[in-house]
Amino acid sequence: MLSQFKNTNLILAPMAGITDMPFRRICNKFGADITVTEMVSARGLIEGSEKSFKLLHIDKDEKNTGIQIFGNDPLVMARAAKIVSRFNPAFIDINAGCPAKKVIKSGSGGGLLNDLDNLKRVLNAVVENSEVPVTCKTRIGFADDYSDEIIDIIYETGIRKIAIHGRTVKMGFKGSANYDWCKHINKFNDVKFVLNGDIDSPRRAMDLILQYPGTDIMIGRGALGNPFIFEKIKKAILGEPINDISYKIWFDTIREHYNLMLEYYGDYGLILMRKHVGWYLKGMRNSKKIKDFIFRSNNYKEIIEVLGEYDRT
């Protein structure tokens, strides 16, 4: 069975406001083979936005990290690709699937799927101006269940790694991810496809890999508060028992995550960390009171003491 998995990478999906350097490092630690930054505005880069440039930071301890950019103007995307290349990421990823209304309205992200001629122009602009490999993350269609034209266009630009979320842009995150599109994979023998959407357990990941050998697995929301999912999937692949995460590992991970956030953002990291703590505590017994405290506190020492005394069983 291991032969089915030998060419499979586990990837942390790019997520705005989430996949910053601290969270990517935590996921690397627990087995993510590849990670991707939050989406970076191409226009923000060419205009010198400090916020956009901060998102380009890749720590020396990270491995196989790509930078995702988004935009709708081919000339702007071309200039952004040149800027990003100077930071020497493992690859540049083009966002052609973000379902956020603001992004779609600008013609970027998922909005590109509503204008396939411009999608092609944007893809070509990045490919022609990047000094590192280029990948693309997209969806199965804008409003239709599946559009084979999207993959054809991406393929024609020379991109050979394509991540596809199994929902349309219009669906957002409603409904269920559809993997029927995978029946078209064999048409593109030289493309590495990445499966994304509703992969929230080792069983789901293994089912997909067995059904579609040679693909990579990209996990987004399934890793929120659960960076351990990558390690669990790898244990499942090896046929090793998958045990619940011990309290010590859980607590040490949160503490390490806090420390990375403070190191990277300063005191503001305490505020940004609140959503992560909410995810780490999700579904746990008696967690409401502790979450209420943490969401109000700006004292790192007090937060760690409260978490250290928490009985999650």
Catalytic residue numbers read 98
Give the whole-angstrom CA distance, residue 191 versus residue 161: 6
The stretches of the chain forming alpha helices (DSSP H) are 21-29, 42-46, 50-54, 74-85, 101-105, 116-129, 148-156, 202-211, 229-238, 247-265, 268-281, 287-296, 300-309
Angle 247-265/300-309 helices, nearest 10 degrees? Answer: 170
Give the CA count within 13 Å in the CB-facing half-sphere of 50. Answer: 0
Residues marked as binding?
14-16, 68, 137, 165, 220-221
Task: Give the amino acid at 249.
Answer: I
In the three-class reduction of DSSP (H, G, I as helix; E, B as strand; rest coil), residue 88 is classed as: coil
If you write DSSP's letter for every residue of 11-45 in order, what string do you get?
EEPP-TTT-SHHHHHHHHHTT-SEEEPPPEEHHHH
Contacts of 269 (CB under 8 A, 6+ apart): 22, 258, 261, 262, 263
Q: Helix/strand/coil (H, E, C) string of 173-212? A: CCCCCCCHHHHHHHHCCCCEEEEECCCCCHHHHHHHHHHC
Q: Which two tokens stand for residue 309?
A: 């005394």
Residues marked as binding for FMN?
14-16, 68, 137, 165, 220-221
- Measured over the CA atoms of residue 140, residue 143, residue 146 and residue 148, the dihedral's sign is negative
In the three-class reduction of DSSP (H, G, I as helix; E, B as strand; rest coil), residue 92 is classed as: strand
Q: Which two tokens stand for residue 187?
A: 């048409």
Distance linking the first and last C-alpha atoms of the chain: 35
In the chain, what's the furthest Cα-to-Cα distance? 57
